[in-house]
Amino acid sequence: MRHWLMKSEPDEASIDHLAAAPGQCLPWTGVRNYQARNFMRDEMRVGDGVLFYHSSCPAPGIAGIAEVASTPYPDPTQFDPASPYHDPKSRREDPRWLLVDVRLVARTALLPLAAMREDPALADMATLRRGNRLSITPVTPGEWAHVLERLQVRWARA
DNA sequence: GCCAACGTTGGC
DNA sequence: GCCAACGTTGGC
């Protein structure tokens, strides 16, 4: 099993939205970056662990734990002209953008970005690297175990 | 609002 | 294929 950090703007999809969703599960819509898409399309498996990260907000940081809850499938928003994620160049016969569903495992206290940066155990985290803008990044087993420990989350699959 | 960093576009 | 221009991300 692999582990991931997935960024979401809480205005759009916060950990609270996830907790309130049917089955505490949401489709990860809106990814329009090929590298992030490829992680979902090629490397994620159902049951993979997810650090749910709040970005572009007053208090950025890890807000909870989630898991990958589906295999990849086409992001419906790419075909919706009314959606901000509409992609007129994507064809239904050959969808450009795929997504996975994500299910809540645990809401946690916020692990603020500043605290992540101060933590030597997280010094090499992909998402903390200079200039990184990827909304989905791999998390190593060590980083995953460390974050769950800090957040006091016990998870059978961890 | 600012700005660094990166990704994408499109002319050539 | 190159690369300048432009757009986006995301912290501050």
The reported pLDDT for the residue numbered A155 is: 87
Mean pLDDT, rounded, for A77-91: 91
CA of A116 vs C1' of B2, distance in Å?
A: 24
Which of the nucleotides in strand B have any atom less than 7 Å away from a protein CB atom? 4-8
Backbone angles phi, psi at A50, to 5 degrees: -130, 125
Give residues lining strand B (CB < 7 Å).
A 33-35, 130-133
Which of the nucleotides in strand C have any atom less than 7 Å away from a protein CB atom? 8-12
Confidence of residue A63 (pLDDT cuts 50, 70, 90): very high
The dotted CATH code for A3-149 is 3.10.590.10
| Mean of pLDDT over chain A | 95
Nucleotide lying nearest to A7, CA to C1' measure: C10
Nucleotide lying nearest to A134, CA to C1' measure: C9
Nucleotide lying nearest to A35, CA to C1' measure: B7
| Sheet architecture: strand order including A136-139 | A25-27, A101-112, A61-68, A49-54, A3-8, A136-139
Exposed e or buried b per residue across A55-72, where buried means at least 16 C-beta atoms within 10 angstroms of its C-beta = eeeeebbbbbbbbbbbeb
Which residues have C-beta within 8 Å of that of residue A119, sequence separation ≥ 6?
A146, A150
Please give the Cα distance from A49 to A36 (Å, whole number).
16
Confidence of residue A29 (pLDDT cuts 50, 70, 90): very high
The reported pLDDT for the residue numbered A156 is: 77
CA of A146 vs C1' of C3, distance in Å?
A: 43
